[in-house]
Structure 1
Amino acid sequence: MKRPSPSFRILRHVVLMAVALVFLMPFIWMVLTSLKPADEIFGSEIHLFPTRFAAVENYTLALTKVPLLRYLWNGALVCAGILVLQILVALPAAYAFAKLSFRGKPWAWRLVMLALMVPYQATAIPLYVMLYHAGLLDTMGALILPFSVSAFGIFLMRQFFRTVPDDLIHAARLDGMGELEIVWRVMLPTAMPALLAFSIFSVVWHWNDYFWPLLVINSPHLATPPLGTMFFRNEEAGSAFGPLMAGTVLITAPLVLLFVVAQKRFIEGVTLTGVKG
């Protein structure tokens, strides 16, 4: 196969960098705005970089005027609770779909595929009514329990489990392991790349979720990071976009760090789940 010419490779990288810059520009603008004083943000002239840094004032105001750390803690607690429950359900279900035979399996798998096509906003009202009757509105349970089962998690893990050799499972059965023991002692260690990929998907989705917390949470002390940003702007920051952008940077930073740290394993997990259909 003929290798691309140097000029083509240079052009390709220039195009890719230009596209990446388009997607990154809002984030770059957000970070730079968090460093600017108010007179530069609302000045008649647009400056990309601040002429006078106000980072200390903006970030101090973001951390002191509202319980921003509490919002971050709530987000971490909700994401961790959802992820643990999703793993407890998704791994045994995915193992059953990938390696076991049982009556009604094709129809059960079709239901999982159907669940992937239904946006959770479509079921928001029935879920809200159920939580109301259960007395769980305006609690952490209202944020965690509706997402304890993930059709996407079952699908992703099932795709990975299909790549695991059946001989490994047969050997575990010969050693006297039960099916659940195989799931947690054999399949779980082999599925760590796919599990890490799913964990990043789950954490990013629920960390950034604004719709559901807005619907079920009224108490500011239970707010997740996106909902906390709304409270921050409405109650404290007003039109002070410097502190508001500083708070948004602090809320976005954990996700960026998570992806940077786990980038290699994330790509590996997503790639491996598509090896075998």
Structure 2
Amino acid sequence: MSATRLFALPAILRHSVLLLTSALILVPFAWMVSLSIKPPGEIFRASFSFFPAQFHGAENYTKAITSVPLLHYIGNGLLVCALILALQILVCAPIAYALAKLNFRGRDLLFALVLIGLLLPHQVLSLPLFILCYQLGILNTYAALVFPYIVSPFGVFLFRQFFKSIPDDVVHAARLDGLSELSIVWKIMVPMSLPAILAFSIFSVVGHWNDLFWPLIAVRDGSLMPPPIGIMAFKNAEAGNDYGPLMAASTLVVAPLLIAFLAAQKWFVEGMTTGAVK
């Protein structure tokens, strides 16, 4: 065997593993789209086929949109995710700047608490958060869906790592120009950290767009339902065993996430790797 083939074997193996992993991840999504355009008689057919013998997509998607206020649920998800993301950046960026560029007593301890926060699943805090929201009188409101996520340990960690990759000379020059610490955060650090912000935005939007556990606890009003609860209501109340419209609704809910990720994947990779290679 030639030396060229020996050197090519690791690359072939890597690409084979990547292709196999990608296929395992993408097959459920492809199957969901396939079911969304099939008539009821083909969904449980014994033979396997991605493409329907009879296209039934228009009927399934029309029923998904008209049977329940699915577009309203998607609007709720967009509103809640946008509010959460804006508040997270507003809160996490100054905290991350203080942990990355300021020297003060207890800084390492605070960063250790942030790391501990990364380890705790959000479900652990659901009961005290529910009691707190009840005492604040915000249950069954949009505020109840937003409030528990304002501070993101992952956001603080990611921004801190990115801020540490920015030279200290930039900060010193800004201070000599008379900028306050908050002005340095918003006028210098945040604009220079757009890749990290975009990467965090994808994580935040995907996580809260798909969140089912906390909204089930925090809201009861149907007009406040985010997309996952909306799909549940569609299945239980309207669709029953009619999985075509249910898969059509799921496809409509997933589509915005796929479009957003494909549009921002370059900056997502850059934001996730910049702080790691320092």
TM-score bin, normalised by smaller chain: over 0.9
CA distance in 2: counterparts of 1:38 and 1:183, whole angstroms: 56
Amino acid at match of 2:47: E
The TM-score with structure 2 as length reference comes to: 0.95
Aligned residue for 1:106? 108
Aligned residue for 2:161? 159
Aligned pair in 2 of structure 1 residues 2, 75: CA closer, same or farther (>3 Å)? same
Helix, strand or coil at the partner of 1:273: helix
CA distance in 1: counterparts of 2:143 and 2:91, whole angstroms: 17
Matching residue within 26, 40, 61 for 1:38? 40
Once the 2 structures are TM-superposed, how far is the Cα of residue 43 of structure 1 from its aligned partner?
2.9
Aligned pair in 2 of structure 1 residues 8, 86: CA closer, same or farther (>3 Å)? closer
C-alpha deviations, 1:58-92, integer Å up to 9, x for none? 00000111101101100010100000110011110
Identity of aligned residues (%): 53
Helix, strand or coil at the partner of 2:151: coil
What does residue range 130-149 of structure 1 map to in structure 2 within 5 Å? 130-149=132-151
Matching residue within 89, 103, 123 for 2:125? 123
CA distance in 1: counterparts of 2:99 and 2:183, whole angstroms: 16
CA distance in 1: counterparts of 2:197 and 2:32, whole angstroms: 32
Aligned residue for 2:51? 49
Aligned residue for 1:229? 231
Amino acid at match of 1:139: T
What does residue range 202-217 of structure 1 map to in structure 2 within 5 Å? 202-217=204-219
Amino acid at match of 2:156: I
CA distance in 2: counterparts of 1:161 and 1:44, whole angstroms: 55
Matching residue within 39, 64, 75 for 1:73? 75
Gaps of 5+ in 1: none
Aligned residue for 2:261? 259
Helix, strand or coil at the partner of 1:103: coil
Amino acid at match of 1:60: T
Matching residue within 153, 171, 174 for 2:173? 171
CA distance in 2: counterparts of 1:84 and 1:34, whole angstroms: 34
Helix, strand or coil at the partner of 1:176: coil
CA distance in 1: counterparts of 2:133 and 2:223, whole angstroms: 19
Residues 97-106 or 71-80, more deviating: 97-106
Once the 2 structures are TM-superposed, how far is the Cα of residue 5 of structure 1 from its aligned partner?
4.3
CA distance in 1: counterparts of 2:56 and 2:218, whole angstroms: 36
Once the 2 structures are TM-superposed, how far is the Cα of residue 45 of structure 1 from its aligned partner?
3.4
Residues 204-213 or 101-110, more deviating: 101-110
What does residue range 19-30 of structure 1 map to in structure 2 within 5 Å? 19-30=21-32
Helix, strand or coil at the partner of 2:276: coil
Aligned residue for 1:13? 15
Once the 2 structures are TM-superposed, how far is the Cα of residue 108 of structure 1 from its aligned partner?
1.4
CA distance in 1: counterparts of 2:18 and 2:155, whole angstroms: 31
Gaps of 5+ in 2: none
CA distance in 2: counterparts of 1:45 and 1:2, whole angstroms: 44
